[in-house]
Amino acid sequence: MIDIIGAGSLGLLFAGRLAATGTDVRLWTRTLEQARTIACDGITVFDKEGEIAVHVSGDTFKVAPLADWQRLNSHAPAQWIFLMTKQGAIREVLEQILPVADTTRKPEMICFQNGIGHIERIRQVWPEGVLYPAVTTEGAKRQGPASILHAGAGVTEIGWSEEQVKAQAGNFEECVLNRLLAAGFDVCLSKEIEYGMYRKLLINAVINPLTAIWRIRNGELLSDPVRLHMMRRLFDEGIQVYEAHGIRWDSAWWEQIMNVCRATADNHSSMLADVLAQSTTEVASINGQLVQMAEQAGITAPTHKVLWQLIEGMRLKEG
Ligand code: KPL
């Protein structure tokens, strides 16, 4: 069984595809209302042509509000948790699910958040937890409470250390990796997940705040020299920060950012979606983290800092 916490676009995509290919899935929502809607409607995944790619009815999988975690876990303890909420929701999630039911086998958590800093924060409150950072480029867009548009198939990397390979290999492969592959996800294990996380951090730090400030779709960033200039500034500042910390990077990342904009041209970035929904954005975990890393290294990242402040201010005004 796989427990997916978070019924946003990624949570619905993974829950729908896994359930459709026979994996036992429990999906955890923020509210009871959301759980009821999903149980009633099932999950629908549309492809980019607007055709139904996957539909699973509500009796194919389980769905419950996170408030029921302790009660339901005492009957059926979670083993593999996919944490698919935003960074900002992590504290609330951990408050609900910890202490983890005292079973002989502690659950292991695969963490799919954008940005950096969350793994360390989770470890602080759950030091005995087995955590796998994950980076995914799956492009999913929420269409309704129980439906998403799978705009672009991506790649999912799951970080795995040498010790975990030795201790867990058989089980993880059978219960997680093979399930994801069977569900059609392009997934691989990576011993260099930090490299992937820093690449994704820079992609998000360049695309997300600009689309949120200008309220444009990802593809529209490429249509104007001023927008491209701002993207390049954010990229160059980010690279300076990485160099100051000795973080490995690749000049090909710039072209990859362009490609992400092309592949997700019609999408709202997650930050723009948050701004439009007047909810908390992940700017602090993305641009804010880069600014803090710059300061730790005795340099500055002024464009990231201004965008961080502008977006935080926008949320304060609207929220
Ligand atoms: O991850 C994304 C996000 O919106 O958070 C990108 C890659 C920018 C796609 O929209």
pTM of structure: 0.91
What are the pLDDT digits (tens) for 185-222? Answer: 999 999 999 999 999 999 999 999 999 999 999 999 99
**Two structure tokens written together for 97:** 């699910």
Query: Superfamily assignment of 194-314 in CATH?
Result: N-(1-d-carboxylethyl)-l-norvaline Dehydrogenase; domain 2 (1.10.1040.10)
Substitution candidate for ligand 1 out of 135, 217, 235, 270 with most atoms within 8 A of CB:
270
What is the atom index within ligand 1 of the atom nearest the CA of 270?
A: 4
**Residues 6+ away with beta carbon under 8 Å from 308:** 209, 283, 284, 287, 288, 291
The ipTM assigned to this model is: 0.96
What are the pLDDT digits (tens) for 92-130? Answer: 999 999 876 555 567 899 999 999 999 999 999 988 888
Question: Does the domain at residues 2-191 carry the CATH identifier 3.40.50.720?
Answer: yes
Extents of the domains making up the chain: 2-191, 194-314
Measured between alpha carbons, how far is residue 53 from residues 45, 137, 147 in Å? Answer: 6, 19, 11
Substitution candidate for ligand 1 out of 231, 267, 268, 271 with most atoms within 8 A of CB:
267
Percent of the chain having pLDDT more than 90? 78
